[in-house]
Structure formats: C-alpha cells, structure tokens
C-alpha cells in the first residue's frame, strides 16, 4: 500500500518551454502532497507543500510563478515548471501523506528534468 507514482519519469525540453509533472497517490487519498528538488549529491530540498483544494505553500526562495502547483484532487498534484531554463535541470520528487496527523511521507520515483 501507499504507492505514489510520477509521470513522466524523465523529460528533456528546450529552454523557454513549460513542463508539467504529475504526482498520483495510487491506493490512498493524499490530503497533503509535497514537491522536492534534488541536485546531484545533494539533499532533497522542499519546494512547496500542497493541500487539496487550496493554494500551495512555497518555501523561501522558490518562485511560485515559475513553479506552478495544482492539487486538484485527493489523488493528483501537478508541478508545472514554466519558461524552463538549464538551471532548472534537476530531479523532481513528490511525496504524499496518507492522512492528517500521519508523519510518514511516501515518495514517488522522481522525474529527471533536463533543459537544453
């Protein structure tokens, strides 16, 4: 149980284009989903916390207009990287909590974004 999927698993795009990444909880309803970014040999950095039906809360230094997050249902959250640049190339990982009050987060397999 508690399986989280991400799509696509990898994407290559041209500079200036937008890329959408989907995060789905497959066998549970996720009231809260999280988006992380991880650069090589670095720790996971939390970008934003997303609650179903409300606006995402972004961490300091993360541009909300560049990284658009939509949590339209209890099983789906999307991250759109707008006007992508090479410095946005990274490994993007989502996670989900099964319910309020649960401390464990279950992670998706990640999406490798390469911006040319």
Partner 1 sequence: SQKIEQNSEALNIQEGKTATLTCNYTNYSPAYLQWYRQDPGRGPVFLLLIRENEKEKRKERLKVTFDTTLKQSLFHITASQPADSATYLCALNSGYSTLTFGKGTMLLVSP
Binding site for partner 1 (CB under 8 A): 4, 6, 32, 34, 41-46, 49, 91, 93, 95, 97, 103-110, 112
Query: Nearer Cβ to partner 1, position 74 or 82?
Result: 74
β-pairing, 111-115 vs 10-13, is parallel
Q: In the complex, what is the shortest distance from the CB of residue 103 to partner 1, in angstroms, rounded to a whole number?
A: 6
Task: From 36, 32, 110, select the one nearest 75 (Cα to Cα).
Answer: 32
Query: Nearer Cβ to partner 1, position 32 or 75?
Result: 32
Q: In the complex, what is the shortest distance from the CB of residue 107 to partner 1, in angstroms, rounded to a whole number?
A: 4
Query: Nearer Cβ to partner 1, position 76 or 82?
Result: 76
Query: Nearer Cβ to partner 1, position 81 or 93?
Result: 93
Q: In the complex, what is the shortest distance from the CB of residue 88 to partner 1, in angstroms, rounded to a whole number?
A: 18
Query: Is the link from the previous residue into 98 a cis peptide, with omega within 30 of 0?
Result: no
Contact (CB, 8 A) for 71 and 53: yes
Q: In the complex, what is the shortest distance from the CB of residue 16 to partner 1, in angstroms, rounded to a whole number?
A: 26
SS3 of 86, please? helix
What is d(CA 23, CA 13) in angstroms, rounded to the nearest whole number?
A: 19
What is d(CA 99, CA 96) in angstroms, rounded to the nearest whole number?
A: 9
């Amino acid at each position: 149980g508690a399986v989280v999927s991400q799509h696509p698993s990898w994407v290559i795009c041209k500079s200036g284009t937008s890329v959408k990444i989907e995060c789905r909880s497959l066998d549970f309803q996720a009231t809260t989903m999280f988006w992380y970014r991880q650069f090589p040999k670095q720790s996971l950095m939390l970008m934003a916390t997303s609650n179903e039906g409300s606006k995402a809360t972004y961490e300091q230094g993360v541009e909300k207009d560049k990284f658009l997050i939509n949590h339209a249902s209890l099983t789906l959250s999307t991250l759109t990287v707008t006007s992508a640049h090479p410095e946005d190339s990274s490994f993007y990982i989502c996670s989900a909590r099964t319910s309020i009050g649960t401390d464990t987060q279950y992670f998706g397999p990640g999406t490798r974004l390469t911006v040319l």
